[in-house]
Amino acid sequence: MEKKEYLRSLSSVNDLIQAVYRSRKLGGGVPRELVTEASRVVLEGVREAIMAAKDEMTLDKISTDTDELVTLVEKEVEDRMQCSLRRVVNATGIVVHTNLGRSLLSRAALDAVAMAGADYNNLEYQLEDGTRGSRQVHLQKLLCDLTGAEAALVVNNNAAAVLLALTTHASGREVIVSRGQLIEIGGSFRLPDVMSQSGARLVEVGTTNKTYLGDYRQAITSETAMIMRAHPSNYRIMGFTSEASIKELAGLAREYELVLLDDLGSGVYIDLTEHGLPYEPTIMRSLEEGADLVCFSGDKLLGGPQGGVILGRSDLVEAMARHPLARAVRVGKLTIAAMEATLHHYLDPERAAEEIPTLAMLTADPEVLRKRARGLAKKLASEGDLEAEVVEDVSRAGGGALPMESLPTWAVAVTSPAYKANELEERLRAAEPPVICRIKEDRIILDMRTVRDDEVGIIAAAFKSMMSGED
Ligand SMILES: *Cc1c(COP(=O)(O)O)cnc(C)c1O
């Protein structure tokens, strides 16, 4: 048969739709528009396959049989009726993995979200006198109590916090930033672009590796409104380097009545060195050293929901809260519920590291990880045809925190004679739920730092169905 005949033998969209309804496999409630779209997509796919076929043999394999097309349409409809946002198993070992949803919430935070979603609440209602209240009160007092800050404001994310700070306090004026801190963070947060969006004019000082206090001083004019420091997050300048400290910058800012903004990025509350982790500047340290405004993400090392926390001088924070942009970037009630519950954990810092999943994973006992790895390796070995070895490896914190530090971890390295490493990776990604892992030296690496005990069985099951060819 020739291509033309193949194409001619395909049913029309309308006939295919009729055939789908005749087969009665789909539920009666499936929207007709969805069936139509799926039928169109399936026919288009077959048509493209026919056009692309290079020889008779490939062509022969393409079915134009209506019954088979009906099955394809049914599958397409089912795929489209699945939720797009799905649970995955994170076996990458990257704790704050932006592509996989950053921080997981604690049990208490999840309960708070469930309450805020299921029941009416006092979001903006003062129970004392029955009048209208502010949604910020639920977080303000707690944030100030925890950090000693004068005032607090929470917005949609840290990008919004930076934009709001710059717009409110430096629009139409100059902001001085070190060239070593003009960062771009994954997913389109580029400091110079945020700056121009705010209407502030960026004044770069120093060089990539060295910026001195004197460089800042020299750049100050009558137009200067702010000095900004940004955490370099996902990169480090190493070797021959120098940066002015917050303390030094605070002194300069005082002298010229400028605002000193410190974008911390990750927002670490507890001293990580106490848990054997490398030092990250904490929120309190920045405030104590004299930053007027400090901002950070809620879902990086803080371990809460997406959000942007702003702390600092009350006159500055209040002006930001009153700015029209604040309404556009305000937080929702589910975020407030999760954030309040997360912050509550920090009232007991010892337990916080256990209860907040992000901190628990970062500070996990290597012996626990090793045991988990052994458990998984044993399960996989019983699958036959798989080689699973418990190996020492390193995980990353992610989220722009501790970028150069690698945390010693335990993982399971897997190979199979049946599949190459990239095929294994692909098949794990197609499992239900998908298992996300990395490849190293032609082996699949399943890092136990970000895998829960109850997920070990899920990973084993994904391999099992793969090896038995069920998927
Ligand atoms: C991550 C990060 C941001 C952006 O924070 P989001 O909460 O993702 O909006 C801004 N600045 C720094 C330094 C960061 O590390």
Examine the fold and report which residue of 311, 330, 355 is the final residue of a domain before the chain moves on: 355
* Cα 184 to middle of ligand 1, angstroms: 9
Count of domains forming the chain? 3
Q: Which of 334, 355, 376 is the last residue of a domain?
A: 355
> Is residue 382 located within the same domain as residue 340?
no
Same domain assignment for residues 154 and 236: yes
Which residue type does 276 have?
Answer: G
Q: Is the CB of 308 under 6 A from ligand 1?
A: yes
- Over residues 101-127, the pLDDT tens digits come to 999 999 999 999 999 999 999 999 999
308 DSSP β-pair partners: 155, 297
Ligand 1: residue of 177, 231, 297, 310 to mutate (most ligand atoms within 8 A of CB) is 297
Decide which of 355, 379, 404 is a domain's last residue: 355
Closest ligand 1 atom, CA of 187?
Answer: 8
- Is the shortest distance between the CB of 305 and ligand 1 below 6 Å? no
- Indicate if 136 and 77 belong to the same structural domain: no
Q: Where are the beta strands (DSSP E) in 287-344?
A: 293-297, 308-312
Q: Are residues 153 and 293 in the same domain?
A: yes
For the CA of 308, the nearest atom of ligand 1: 7
Q: What are phi and psi of 87, to 5 degrees?
A: -70, 140
- Under a CB-based contact definition with an 8 Å cutoff, are residues 280 and 273 in contact? no
With a CB cutoff of 8 Å and minimum separation 6, the contacts of 67 are 19, 23
Q: State residue 28's pLDDT score.
A: 78
Phi, psi torsion values for 367, nearest 5 degrees: -65, -35
pLDDT digits (tens, 9 = 90+) for 311-364: 999 999 999 999 999 999 999 999 999 999 999 999 998 899 999 999 999 999
Q: What is the pLDDT of residue 449?
A: 97
Q: How far is the CA of 201 from the centre of ligand 1 (A)?
A: 20
Residue span of the structural domain in which 9 resides: 3-81
Half-sphere exposure of 461 (CA within 13 A, CB side): 10
Residues of the chain with pLDDT under 50: 471
Whose CA is closest to 242, among 267, 207, 277?
207
Do both 176 and 200 map to the same domain? yes
> What is the predicted pLDDT for the residue at 228?
97
Compute the distance between CA of residue 444 and CA of residue 380 in angstroms, rounded to an integer.
13
- Report which DSSP code applies to 73: H
Task: Write the CB contacts of 458 (distance below 8 Å, at least 6 apart in sequence).
Answer: 89, 433, 435
Q: Which of 177, 182, 189, 190 to probe ligand 1 with, by most ligand atoms within 8 A of CB?
A: 189
Ligand 1 atom index nearest CA of 160 = 9
Question: Which helix (H) or strand (E) segment is 412 a member of?
Answer: strand 407-415
Closest atom of ligand 1 to 399 CA is 1
Tokens of 141: 């007092």
With a 6 Å cutoff on the Cβ, whether 358 touches ligand 1 is no
Query: Kind of pairing, strands 151-155 and 308-312?
Result: antiparallel
| Nearest ligand 1 atom, CA 264 | 13
Same domain assignment for residues 32 and 61: yes
Nearest CA to ligand 1 atom 1: 265
Cβ of residue 298 lying under 6 Å from some atom of ligand 1: no
Ligand 1 mean position, distance from CA 323 (Å):
21
Q: Is ligand 1 within 6 A of the CB of residue 267? A: no
In a shared domain, residues 196 and 224 = yes
Q: Domain check: are 48 and 166 in the same one?
A: no
297 lines ligand 1 (CB under 6 A): yes
Instruction: Answer yes or no: do 190 and 235 share one domain.
Output: yes
CATH of the domain at 389: 3.90.1150.180
In the block, tokens 């672009």 appear at 193
Indicate whether 150 and 185 sit together in one domain. yes
Same domain as 124, residue 21: no
Query: Same structural domain for residues 277 and 409?
Result: no
Query: How distant, in Å, are the alpha carbons of 105, 144, 270, 318, 458 from that of 140?
Result: 20, 6, 19, 12, 41
Kindly give the number of the ligand 1 atom that is closest to the alpha carbon of 299. Answer: 7
Backbone angles phi, psi at 208, to 5 degrees: -60, -40
